[in-house]
Amino acid sequence: MESTSASGGTGTKKVKTGMCFKWSNNMIADLLWLRFTDSDVKHRLEAAQTKTQTALAWQYFASVLSQSQGVVITREQVSQKYRKLKCIYRKEKREAGQTGNCARELREIDDALWGIPHDAFSGRVGLSGEVLLDSHQDDDEGDS
């Protein structure tokens, strides 16, 4: 007897198996280090101009990260994790700057891990042209 789905068909929908991937702090540190420090990975991602070039750059990034960690990590997992880290970082910085009597919720990212995206993203210009975080003071400003 063949099982059928609720719609009456035999269900050809792909089931996402093994998509849940547990990222350790060490993996995240490697991901950010490779993204901003490894010249080859950084150049490929920044030089990509088409969808195909971007996909190939993320695939290369995933293969380098997989080799350094000794586990298989897909292009989608790497790009999604990077985007999520960037979003969490922006959200945390925005919430830290808000004032009011609202009780502060717990961070989405633990304190030990907070320094990694903070170091990686501080002083970098976002898409809208605003600096994500700039903690560097110019010498001219301090002399006044």
Q: What percent of the chain has pLDDT over 90?
A: 31
Measured in degrees and rounded to the nearest 5, phi and psi for residue 100 equal 135, -175
Tell me if 117 sits within 8 A of 109, measured CB to CB.
yes
- Decide if 116 contacts 82 (C-beta within 8 A): no
pTM over 0.75: no
Specify if 12 maps to a domain: no
Q: Look at residue 130 and tell me if it is in a domain.
A: no
Average pLDDT of span 66-91:
91
Judge whether residue 13 has pLDDT over 50: no
Query: Residue 82 domain-assigned?
Result: yes
pLDDT in tens, 94-114: 877 766 555 555 566 666 666
Beta bridge pairs of residue 125: 131
Q: Report the pLDDT value the prediction gives residue 104, as an integer from 0 to 100.
A: 56
- Structural domain includes residue 140: no
Query: Which of residues 121 and 11 earns the better pLDDT score?
Result: 121
- Quote the domain boundaries for residue 65: 22-96
The answer to whether position 113 is within a domain reads no
Which secondary-structure segment (H or E) carries 132? none
Contact between residue 120 and residue 137 where contact means Cβ atoms under 8 Å apart: no
Phi and psi at 83, nearest 5°, equal: -60, -40
CB-based contact 81:120 (threshold 8 Å): no
CA-CA distances (angstroms) from residue 80 to 23, 55, 64, 106? Answer: 12, 12, 16, 23
Mean pLDDT across the stretch 64-92? 91
**pLDDT at residue 35 above 60?**
yes
Confidence of residue 7 (pLDDT cuts 50, 70, 90): very low
Residue 10 belongs to a domain: no
Evaluate whether residue 110 is within a structural domain: no
Question: Residue 62's pLDDT is what?
Answer: 96
pLDDT at position 98 is 67
Domain count, the chain: 1
Look at residue 86 and tell me whether its pLDDT is greater than 70.
yes
Among 12-21, 78-87, 102-111, the range of highest mean pLDDT: 78-87
Q: Indicate whether 57 belongs to any domain.
A: yes
